[in-house]
Amino acid sequence: MTETLQLRGTLRGHNGWVTQIATNPKYPDMILSSSRGKYRLVSRPYLPSITHFFDDSTEKFWFLSCSLIHRNCGTKSDFDQTLTKSVSNLYILRIRVLIYCYNSPYTPLPTIFSNKTLIVWKLTRDEANYGIPQKRLYGHSHFISDVVLSSDGNYALSGSWDKTLRLWDLAAGRTTRRFEDHTKDVLSVAFSVDNRQIVSGSRDKTIKLWNTLAECKYTIQDDGHTDWVSCVRFSPNHANPIIVSAGWDRVVKVWNLTNCRLKINHSGHTGYLNTVTVSPDGSLCASGGKDCKAMLWDLNDGKHLHTLDHNDIITALCFSPNRYWLCAAFGPWIKIWDLETKEMVEELKPEVVSATSKAEPPLCLSLAWSTDGQTLFAGYSDNTIRVWQVSVSSR
Q: For the chain, 395 residues long, give each residue's pLDDT as a single digit of tens.
A: 688 999 999 999 999 999 999 999 999 999 999 998 654 433 333 333 333 333 333 333 333 333 333 323 333 333 333 333 333 333 333 333 332 333 333 333 333 344 589 999 999 999 888 999 999 999 999 999 999 999 999 999 999 999 999 999 999 999 999 999 999 999 999 999 999 999 999 999 999 999 999 999 999 989 999 999 999 999 999 999 999 999 999 999 999 999 999 999 999 999 999 999 999 999 999 999 999 999 999 999 999 999 999 999 999 999 999 999 999 999 999 999 999 999 999 999 988 655 566 678 999 999 999 999 999 999 999 999 999 999 987 65
pTM tops 0.85? no
Q: How many helices (H) and strands (E) does the chain have?
A: 1, 34
Helix (H, G, I), strand (E, B) or coil at 73: helix
Q: Which residues contact 45 (CB under 8 A, 6 or more apart)?
A: none
**Alpha-carbon span 270 to 250, nearest angstrom:** 6
- Distances from the Cα of 393 to the Cα of 3, 98, 389, angstroms: 6, 59, 12
**Alpha-carbon span 212 to 257, nearest angstrom:** 16
> All domains of the chain, ordered by start, with CATH?
5-38+112-352+361-393 (2.130.10.10)
**Alpha-carbon span 165 to 177, nearest angstrom:** 8
- CA dihedral defined by 306, 308, 290, 40, rounded to 10 degrees? -130
- Which long-range contacts (C-beta less than 8 Å, at least 24 apart) are formed by 153-157? 153/24, 153/25, 153/26, 153/27, 153/30, 155/195, 156/22, 156/32, 156/118, 157/189, 157/190, 157/191, 157/198
- With vertex at residue 298, the alpha carbon angle to CA 339 and CA 276, rounded to the nearest 5 degrees, is 80
CA 203 to chain centre: 14
Q: Tell me the chain's radius of gyration from C-alpha atoms.
A: 21
- With vertex at residue 334, the alpha carbon angle to CA 92 and CA 356, rounded to the nearest 5 degrees, is 80
- What is the structure's pLDDT at 350? 87
φ and ψ of 179, to 5 deg: -105, 120
Which residue in 19, 10, 113 sits closest to 60, CA to CA? 19
Burial of 352 (0-12, 13-18, 19+ CB in 10 A): middle
DSSP state of 374: S
- What is the structure's pLDDT at 372? 96
Helix (H, G, I), strand (E, B) or coil at 383: coil
Amino acid at 90: L
Do 285 and 273 form a contact (C-beta atoms < 8 A)? no
